[in-house]
A and B are shown apart, each in its own frame.
Chain A
Amino acid sequence: MDDVRVIEVKQSVFADNDRKADELRARLREQGTFLLNLMSSPGSGKTTTLRRTVEVLRGEMAIAVMEADIDSDVDARTMAETGVRAIQLHTGGMCHLDAYMTEQGLEGLLAEGGGEPIDLAILENVGNLVCPAEFDTGASANAMILSVPEGDDKPLKYPLMFSICDVVLINKIDALPVFDAFSMERVRENILMRNPNATIIPISAKTGEGVDAWADWLRTRIAEWKIA
């Protein structure tokens, strides 16, 4: 029985995930939930930025946070202290979240809140500038944080990540006097070369500078999401 039958498939290896992501996005739109996929390298200040963001917005909307990491629950605990719904997802060793894992996380968040609707769900993706860019999570928008100490050349080194983000936060601008090789002009040029449509917002999660502009961006996008 050496004969084999060959079935032509001709679909991307990402097609299965993309289908799931589109399905999830449609469901979130119906539920009026805006899902933000937040990505960055480890240590760029995702959790601190989220704490700031939650402080500004939690009086206006229901916010819930999913923390994805390979191990530990330190981030989920930090976020829970701010009073928002937070759960920790473990990726089982994987370096990114996909749409299936995100769906499970969202179900977990809804269950945690007894089914109470969520206006803004935030997925804090695994700290990594490579793999998370390749897997659509079903998010309404992709955001990333690039912190000043990482250097202004990162858009050149990780082009895919910068090209898929709707908004790039440049964090730790309070450290600019120390990291004086970092040029705000050059980082803008490098980001816009990869993604001419990216919104760039300089912030300091430590001092709070720029956080209002970031919160405004979110307000606008959430309002548009709920109308459409």
Chain B
Amino acid sequence: MHELGIVFHIIRSVESVAEQNGLRSVSSVTLELGEVSGIIPSYLTDCWNWACSKNDLMRGAELAIEEIPAVTFCEVCGETYGTVEHGRTCPHCGSERTYLLQGNETTIKEIATPDEGPDGGGGADDVRADARACARANRAPAPSESADAAPVC
């Protein structure tokens, strides 16, 4: 419902990190998104592709999304269960005294840049292979050619 606004805020945050680190371009941004965060990854990706195409720093940047499953804890019986399947009511004992343990995350985890590091090396210490692999595995679908109008939530 609100993905375009969220994309604008992510880009603003990335711009500020880029400024602090003297980056000229960004190759990917990794988000941790909870299963019940209320953000729909496919909408977010559409908005992302549209907004990045209009921004010099972000042009061509991939959006990698790591989804975090939603898990709820029951205070009465002490069991955990999948939030999406069972909602607020504990499937083990029927209690409604439950709270979300995880699954509401909306975190910008990291940014990858092809730019060289401040030491001029772009050194191996800074490079995390697992993050790169992840960005590739979650590669966003190609933006549709005709999508020049802003997606509306």
Contact B5 A94 (CB under 8 A): yes
B residues 84-133 with Cβ under 8 Å of A? Answer: 106-117, 122, 126-128, 131-132
Contact A6 B108 (CB under 8 A): no
Q: How far is it, in angstroms, between the C-alpha of A14 and the C-alpha of B34 when the chains are bound?
A: 14
Does A11 belong to the interface (CB within 8 Å)?
Answer: yes
Tell which of A4, A17, A92, A98 has the most Cβ of chain B within 10 Å: A4
Does A1 belong to the interface (CB within 8 Å)?
Answer: yes
Query: Which of B10, B31, B107, B122 is close to A5, meaning CB atoms less than 8 Å apart?
Result: B122
Contact B2 A130 (CB under 8 A): yes
Q: How would you classify the secondary structure of chain B's contact residues: helix, strand, loop or mixed?
A: mixed
Contact A9 B110 (CB under 8 A): yes
Q: How far is it, in angstroms, between the C-alpha of A12 and the C-alpha of B6 when the chains are bound?
A: 10
Query: Which of A5, A8, A94, A130 is close to B117, meaning CB atoms less than 8 Å apart?
Result: A5
Chain A 1-26, CB-CB to B under 8 Å as 1, else 0, gives 10111111111111111000000000
Q: How far is it, in angstroms, between the C-alpha of A135 and the C-alpha of B39 when the chains are bound?
A: 13
CB distance from B59 to the nearest CB of A (A): 16
Contact A10 B109 (CB under 8 A): yes
Query: Which of B13, B14, B39, B127 is close to A6, meaning CB atoms less than 8 Å apart?
Result: B127
Contact A131 B2 (CB under 8 A): yes
Contact A4 B113 (CB under 8 A): yes
Q: A4-B127, A16-B9 are in contact. Are A9 and B153 (CB under 8 A)?
A: no
CB distance from A178 to the nearest CB of B (A): 31
CB neighbours of B5 from chain A (8 A): 94-96, 98, 131, 135
Q: How far is it, in angstroms, between the C-alpha of A130 and the C-alpha of B114 when the chains are bound?
A: 38
CB distance from A157 to the nearest CB of B (A): 12
CB neighbours of A30 from chain B (8 A): none
B residues 1-58 with Cβ under 8 Å of A? Answer: 1-2, 4-6, 9-10, 12-14, 16-17, 21, 23, 27-28, 31, 38-39
Contact B110 A7 (CB under 8 A): yes
Q: A16-B13, A98-B5, A130-B2 are in contact. Are A3 and B127 (CB under 8 A)?
A: yes
Does B142 belong to the interface (CB within 8 Å)?
Answer: no
Does B137 belong to the interface (CB within 8 Å)?
Answer: no
CB neighbours of B2 from chain A (8 A): 94-96, 130-131, 134-135
Q: How far is it, in angstroms, between the C-alpha of A128 and the C-alpha of B1 when the chains are bound?
A: 10
Contact B110 A8 (CB under 8 A): yes
Contact B9 A98 (CB under 8 A): yes
CB distance from B79 to the nearest CB of A (A): 22
Does A93 belong to the interface (CB within 8 Å)?
Answer: yes
CB distance from B29 to the nearest CB of A (A): 8
Q: How far is it, in angstroms, between the C-alpha of A81 and the C-alpha of B30 when the chains are bound?
A: 49
Contact A5 B12 (CB under 8 A): no
Contact B127 A11 (CB under 8 A): no
CB neighbours of B131 from chain A (8 A): 6
Chain A 129-161, CB-CB to B under 8 Å as 1, else 0, gives 011001100000000000000000000000010
Query: Which of B4, B16, B116 is close to A94, meaning CB atoms less than 8 Å apart?
Result: B4
5 contacts between A and B (CB under 8 A): A12-B106, A12-B108, A93-B153, A98-B9, A135-B2
User: B residues bordering A, Cβ < 8 Å?
Assistant: 1-2, 4-6, 9-10, 12-14, 16-17, 21, 23, 27-28, 31, 38-39, 106-117, 122, 126-128, 131-132, 150, 152-153
| In the complex, the 3 A-B pairs of residues with the closest C-beta atoms, listed nearest first | A131-B2, A4-B112, A93-B152
